[in-house]
Structure 1
Amino acid sequence: MLKYLEAVAKIRGLAKPFPVTTVPLDSATNRILANPILADRDYPPFNRSAMDGIAIRIADWQQGIREFHVRETVFAGVDAVFALTEGECYRIMTGAACPPTADSVIRNEDVSYLTGQRVHVESKQVLYRQHIAQLGEDLAKGNQALSAPCRCDAPTIGTLAALGVRDVPVYAHPSVAIVTTGNEVVAIDQQPDCFQIRNSNQYLLRALCAQWQLPVVLVQHVRDKRGALLETLGEALEHDIVIINGGVSAGDTDYVPEVLEELGVDVLFHKVLIKPGKPVLVGTAPSGNVVFALPGNPLSCLVTFKLFVEEYLWCCFGFGHARFKKAKLLNDKSKKTPVDEFFPVFRESQTDGYTWRSHHGSGDITAALGCHGIGWHPQNKRDINANEVISILSLSSF
């Protein structure tokens, strides 16, 4: 049986980059940028005033001139008509191009406007190029503006727009099939009897896929019958990623592993030395599509999706940095098992740390309610002491 890090290594070896496509900018939010974007020109493309005020020649200030005549007003998007001579200035607006004969801007708060187009400077000090954003100081033409991969969040979308990128190169989304199993599982709009449960994991998995904007094309529930599983999983294997929930352990009706084998799925691994989620299975269909069979308990389902499905997505989208971050666990934690344990952690307000809370087991529907991430208790470590730094996987996808 594989250890956790051995299973992760196999997942990484399985991952291949998703194809690259283009989408319109107004559809690119939260997509994964696939190619770096270069600056099409200098940014700013001219010396730009950062303030409303006046633009002067610094040489005039250095010669002791404190009262200037306004030669003209320069608005954003408009070029100046006249060059400055000694003792002259421009009135200038924020965002306007600072004309070549001016090399310092003094903000309105530091001047007094007099009659007859005269302005008196109240400042005690004026510096060369103050309040002027210089040509190309943000980006020079041809420089990399955006690296890839990266998620197209709001600032990224704004930057793409500023760069004139109307068609955004992004990774294509894989199609997903979700198949839940179990005789005891009923639809959420059905009143369960004493020994039945509602199909919460179907909605959990759909929500997890939605965080990655994955198109879930097939969603189906199947009872624990070999024939029905064979038919449904055969259809599901036509999709890029197949996520199966339940029927993967060692019970008499856990038919999923043998049905997958009958369908030609090459099992990469089945069972990992982790808690919760030990029965997890990962394999590939003859077509190359990837199969994740996750345990049926709610917390096990969440944890194995985060650990294995998201690891696969992370690698296929081209991210190279580690997914776990380091943070303090504020309370003590012990474990008895010699395996990697994963547990919900909760961010404590006004601190830089997290806490964990006890629960009855991975079948509790509220075990992860309100959590902010998944903590990692390494297999070779019995105790975690309060305020010790541990690895935490954020509940958000990025």
Structure 2
Amino acid sequence: MLSVENAYCQVLATASLLPTETVPLAEAVGRVLRQTITADRDFPPYDRVTMDGIAVRHAALAAGQRVFPIERTQLAGAVPEPLLNPRAAVEIMTGAALPPGTDTVIRYEDLDFGDEPTRQATLRAALPSQGHNVHRQGSDQVAGTLLLAPGTVLSPAELAVAATVGAGRLTVTRRPRLAVVSTGDELVALGQTPLPHQIRRSNAPMLQAALGPKAA
């Protein structure tokens, strides 16, 4: 008699790789990836602001400046415009691109704001370090980096990675086709009334449910 380990090895030795198919991203969860996914650009693709607040030049802070007039406001998704006055600030939102001429973001919680029309922000917390609250371009991944390798089992997290690089369809291993065969002279169909020496065929529905809706 073969041991379980030997039997398992023999089964694997005769197993063949299933063919591939291309499916929409939303249908790829739980499938096995059969293509390479690489970063199509740096991630993040720009110096990204990580807190709502103001963007300033750290050199102004280092020189002792603590009050900054608000030059303008920049929302996430807006084209970043340069800071014109090196002693001013840009009010900025989480996710926005860091404006040229600034290098540090001070969060709202560390500021006091004056009233319109001469609105200004005053730092009331400790001096932040240069680059504070800035997620630097390429600090997660640089363009061309391998993100997902063939053989990866695709969970929702991997689907998010694929979506990040614009992969709306993925090449994956085709699902195996399964057949459940239940035999025995003592078995009768579910709709039949068994005789005293018979039982209903219950294993087949259980196995089909365990294997998923594709089993037949």
The equivalent of 1:111 in structure 2 is 111
**Residues 1:194 and 2:196 are matched in the alignment:** yes
Of 180, 183, 186 in structure 2, the residue corresponding to residue 181 of structure 1 is 183
Question: How far, CA to CA, are the matches of 1:191 and 1:150 in structure 2?
Answer: 48
Question: How far, CA to CA, are the matches of 2:132 and 2:202 in structure 1?
Answer: 60
The alpha carbon displacement at 1:84 in A equals 4.1
Deviations 1:8-52 (A, max 9, x none): 111111122211221111222222212231111111110101111
Question: How far, CA to CA, are the matches of 2:11 and 2:187 in structure 1?
Answer: 30
Deviations 1:241-289 (A, max 9, x none): xxxxxxxxxxxxxxxxxxxxxxxxxxxxxxxxxxxxxxxxxxxxxxxxx
Question: How far, CA to CA, are the matches of 1:12 and 1:54 in structure 2?
Answer: 60
The equivalent of 2:137 in structure 1 is 135
Which amino acid in structure 2 is aligned with residue 14 of structure 1?
T
The equivalent of 2:4 in structure 1 is 4
The equivalent of 1:87 in structure 2 is 87
Of 124, 128, 139 in structure 2, the residue corresponding to residue 122 of structure 1 is 124
Of 159, 162, 165 in structure 2, the residue corresponding to residue 163 of structure 1 is 165
SS in 2 for 1:32: coil
**Residues 1:70 and 2:78 are matched in the alignment:** no
SS in 2 for 1:120: strand
SS in 2 for 1:59: helix
Question: How far, CA to CA, are the matches of 2:77 and 2:3 in structure 1?
Answer: 62
The alpha carbon displacement at 1:208 in A equals 2.8
The equivalent of 1:144 in structure 2 is 146
The equivalent of 1:22 in structure 2 is 22
Q: Which has the higher contact order (CA 8 A, sep 6+)?
A: 2
The alpha carbon displacement at 1:206 in A equals 1.2
Deviations 1:208-243 (A, max 9, x none): 321xx7x33xx4xxxxxxxxxxxxxxxxxxxxxxxx
- Compute the TM-score of the two structures, normalised by the length of structure 1: 0.51
Residues 71 and 82, structure 1, Cα contact 8 Å, conserved in 2: no
Residues 84 and 102, structure 1, Cα contact 8 Å, conserved in 2: no
The equivalent of 2:33 in structure 1 is 33
Which consecutive residues of structure 1, in runs of 5 or more, have no partner in the other structure? Answer: 220-398
- Compute the TM-score of the two structures, normalised by the length of structure 2: 0.92
Q: Identity rate of aligned residues, in percent?
A: 34
Question: How far, CA to CA, are the matches of 1:190 and 1:136 in structure 2?
Answer: 66
Residues 58 and 130, structure 2, Cα contact 8 Å, conserved in 1: yes
SS in 1 for 2:181: strand
C-alpha spacing 1:69/1:7, structure 2 compared with 1 (3 Å): same
SS in 1 for 2:206: helix
Deviations 1:335-354 (A, max 9, x none): xxxxxxxxxxxxxxxxxxxx
**Residues 1:101 and 2:101 are matched in the alignment:** yes
- Where in structure 1 do 4 or more consecutive aligned residues deviate above 3 Å? none
C-alpha spacing 1:68/1:5, structure 2 compared with 1 (3 Å): same
SS in 2 for 1:135: coil
Question: How far, CA to CA, are the matches of 2:46 and 2:10 in structure 1?
Answer: 52
Which amino acid in structure 1 is aligned with residue 176 of structure 2?
P
SS in 2 for 1:181: coil
Question: How far, CA to CA, are the matches of 1:169 and 1:30 in structure 2?
Answer: 13
Deviations 1:280-307 (A, max 9, x none): xxxxxxxxxxxxxxxxxxxxxxxxxxxx
Question: How far, CA to CA, are the matches of 1:23 and 1:129 in structure 2?
Answer: 42
The alpha carbon displacement at 1:80 in A equals 2.8
**Residues 1:49 and 2:49 are matched in the alignment:** yes
What's the C-alpha RMSD, in Å, of the aligned pairs? 1.6
Which amino acid in structure 2 is aligned with residue 89 of structure 1?
A
Stretch of structure 1 that moved more, 94-103 or 150-159: 150-159
Deviations 1:158-180 (A, max 9, x none): 22112100111100122222211
Which amino acid in structure 2 is aligned with residue 104 of structure 1?
T
Q: How does 1:1-398 map to 2 (within 5 A)?
A: 1-115=1-115, 116-210=118-212, 215-216=214-215, 219=216
Which amino acid in structure 1 is aligned with residue 76 of structure 2?
A
The alpha carbon displacement at 1:138 in A equals 1.6
Question: How far, CA to CA, are the matches of 2:122 and 2:193 in structure 1?
Answer: 81
The alpha carbon displacement at 1:190 in A equals 3.0
Which consecutive residues of structure 2, in runs of 5 or more, have no partner in the other structure? Answer: none
Residues 54 and 106, structure 1, Cα contact 8 Å, conserved in 2: yes
Question: How far, CA to CA, are the matches of 2:40 and 2:197 in structure 1?
Answer: 64
Question: How far, CA to CA, are the matches of 2:165 and 2:82 in structure 1?
Answer: 31
